[in-house]
Structure 1
Amino acid sequence: MPLKIPFMNRKLPKYEKHQDIEIEKVPNHIAIIMDGNGRWAKEKNLPRIAGHKEGMDVVKKVVRHASDLGVQVLTLYAFSTENWKRPKKEVDFLMKLPVDFLQTYLPELIEKNVRVQTIGTKDLLPKHTQQAVDEAIYRTKHNTGMVLNFALNYGSRHEIVEVTKQLAGQVKEGELDPEDITEDLFEEHLYTSHLHEPDLLIRTSGEQRLSNFLLWQLAYAEFWFTDVYWPSFNEDTLEEAIRNYQNRKRRYGGV
């Protein structure tokens, strides 16, 4: 079974702004569906790509702040398997964003001890996108701080189907007995097998659905939805979500 990345000891933030946040109760793993870039741009009479560009800048702020607050894993839904349906010009721009982001921000990620990882079918991405991602993964692989996990060309149904195919193939070859298939075994084959499951899901822009994101992994996560478009999301919004999370009691089916 793959070893899950151990949680590091939290360090108290260096500034007093977060006194109302219980540092020891900050979610270990936060997953975010970054939604609303296009609508943000439309309201400002800007092209959709302007919203995506602004959204990339917000990613930088949120990554910094999440790391400072002691979040262990931050998973960002950057590009779904369904996003290929968008206009080619927009898709091409989206495929350049990881390149621009990582080229300009990688030195700071290294300095902040952040480790870059991805989930999804990476080999279907353009070569320049793959190269930028691979370089970031390689140059941060020894970092021991927060894991910045990009979901790129990711679709949860596809992930689950692929795991099912792998297990079915093992059964067909006589390597696995159907009775030995358990939840733990299934999880070992997921993209996130080395990560702890998300504690908190955040979705921006007012939509309240999962959109094929981490369907298995979010089974016991707390959900927090906001009307704020992703380009308007900031450190204060993140803290609001965390405070809301800290006021909930997670029972996992118990009492």
Structure 2
Amino acid sequence: MVFARGAANAAATGGTTRPRHVAIIMDGNGRWATERSWPRLVGHRRGAERVKQIVRACPDLGVDWLTVYAFSTENWKRSAEEVLGLMKIFRRYIEREAEGMSAEGVRMRFIGGRERLDRKLQDLMASIEARTAGNTRLNLTVAINYGGRDELVRASTRLAQKIAEGQIVKPTEADLADCMDTAGHPDPDLVIRTSGETRTSNFLPWQAAYAEYEFTPTLWPDFTPAHLATILDRYGLRERRFGGA
């Protein structure tokens, strides 16, 4: 199923229209730790704890879909110690949160190329996806080894294969969307980046073509549900015309 660009928002909550789908570039973990003279991995661990809090807050804030940018295709350039530490944090997070996610009605999925990830992590990802497949309270998507350009190349390859096999004669935007990692997901209404950086860093370039953006100076480990609620309130004041007058 393909959702139209700029799908309608969820019902208003507390007098403010809420975005149905929020995507977050969780930036600033390393800086948060460095400012305290701690190892960068301490910041990443604190950032993982923050994810849990934001996930639990989303349903009460009227958010149905949450997509978080955990590890990009460019993050492999970091030190081997940091990369290995991040992979360990991802494994631990999935192992510890699987039961809680299921109990709280969270469906968890992953986007990005999996072939470069270690087998244990891939197996854990597949396991929690299967375990939470029937949940509907919140759709949580985690981008690991994800890059928007990489996704577009992989999607284009899938689309070319379908054309070669005669499944598609004249490809459309919807056909390409069906070949993306996010096939079946609504496009994000709002993209948030923490830490004060004002770039999108190869995150959901196709899907976020009509998203609203919010850049906050708050580092991710300090980004609370209250910060999210304030940004959602501001979003409700925006007029979204999608190219119309």
TM-score (norm 2): 0.92
Aligned equivalent of 2:205: 215
* 1:11-66 CA-partner distances (Å, limit 9, x unpaired): 97xxxxxx5x63xx221100000001111111111110011010000000000001
Aligned equivalent of 1:54: 46
How far does residue 135 in structure 1 lie from its aligned partner after superposition? 1.8
Q: Which runs of 5+ in 1 are unaligned?
A: 13-18
Task: Indicate how the Cα distance of structure 1 residues 232 and 64 shifts in structure 2: closer, same or farther if over 3 A, else same.
Answer: same
Aligned equivalent of 1:195: 185
Aligned equivalent of 1:136: 128
Pairwise mapping of residues 104-183 of structure 1 onto structure 2 (< 5 A)?
104-172=96-164, 175-177=167-169, 180-183=170-173
Aligned equivalent of 2:222: 232
More helix per residue:
1
User: Which SS does the other structure have where 1:214 is aligned?
Assistant: coil
Letter in 2 for 1:97: I
CA distance in 1, matches of 2:135, 2:96: 18
CA RMSD, Structure 1 to Structure 2 (Å): 2.2
CA distance in 2, matches of 1:59, 1:239: 15
Letter in 2 for 1:43: E
* Contact 1:98–1:132 (Cα < 8 Å) also in 2: no
How far does residue 97 in structure 1 lie from its aligned partner after superposition? 1.4
Letter in 2 for 1:194: G
* Contact 1:205–1:228 (Cα < 8 Å) also in 2: yes
CA distance in 2, matches of 1:85, 1:223: 27
* Contact 1:98–1:133 (Cα < 8 Å) also in 2: no
Identity %: 42
Letter in 2 for 1:224: E
How far does residue 174 in structure 1 lie from its aligned partner after superposition? 5.2
* 1:177-231 CA-partner distances (Å, limit 9, x unpaired): 3xx1211111111111111100000000001111011000000000000000001
The alignment of Structure 1 onto Structure 2 pairs a total of residues equal to 242
* Contact 1:121–1:152 (Cα < 8 Å) also in 2: yes
User: Which SS does the other structure have where 2:58 is aligned?
Assistant: helix
Letter in 1 for 2:122: Q
Q: Is residue 246 of structure 1 aligned with residue 236 of structure 2?
A: yes
Letter in 1 for 2:64: Q
CA distance in 2, matches of 1:100, 1:67: 24
CA distance in 1, matches of 2:82, 2:122: 18
Task: Indicate how the Cα distance of structure 1 residues 167 and 239 shifts in structure 2: closer, same or farther if over 3 A, else same.
Answer: same
CA distance in 2, matches of 1:254, 1:11: 22
